[in-house]
Amino acid sequence: MSLNISAVQFQESGFVQKLKRKIEQSHIDYSRLILELTESSLINHIDDTVKKINELRTLGIRLSIDDFGTGYSSLSYLKRFKLAQLKIERMFVRDILTSQDDLTLVKTIINMGKNLGLDIVAEGVENQQQFEVLKDAGCAKFQGYWINKPIPGEQITALVTSKQHQCFH
């Protein structure tokens, strides 16, 4: 399960303790949770950010950089914050079929992330051609309307069950 966390939420005093209470109330396994943070949420109050990230990692929560490549994209973040995942911003994915520059950027992000042991997720996959190019480039996780349109929370269990059935039969 992934949760998007805004920069404002992340910088709140007591963020980790509040999140921990919510997780315990919901009976969610910490190790199954990925917090998606934007690059902008990491750059302010760096010492506090490092402290929070270490607390979250101690709980077993994994961290992801959402919309990678659109913010500050400092490679030092990848080293310093010991992330689990990078999510390639959809604006790069959108034009991989028509822009050699975007294709090169996406392939570079995929290769860099894989070499650092990170999961890579391509956002904004809208068609099979994009999916195939990304898959051929080494990306293994995808989001976008081609994969599935957004659905209400109460429909997720049925969707996952039907997808699992499709994969195993």
What's the CA gap between 90 and 126, in Å, rounded?
Answer: 10
What's phi and psi for 142, nearest 5 deg? -140, 150
Q: Tokens 């919510």 appear where?
A: 22
Please give the pLDDT value at position 160.
72
Domain with 104, as residue range(s), is: 2-168
Q: Are 84 and 119 in contact (CB under 8 A)?
A: yes
Of 49, 65, 64, nearest in space to 16 by CA = 49
- Given a contact cutoff of 8 angstroms between Cβ atoms, the answer to whether 7 and 41 are in contact is yes
Q: What's the rounded Cα separation, in Å, for the pair 107 and 111?
A: 6
Residues of the chain with pLDDT under 50: 168-169
The single residue listed with the structure tokens 């969610």 is 28
Q: Any idea what the CATH number is for the domain that residue 122 is in?
A: 3.20.20.450
Domain total in the chain: 1
Contacts of 33 by beta carbon, 8 Å cutoff, 6+ apart: 1, 2, 3, 23, 60, 61, 62
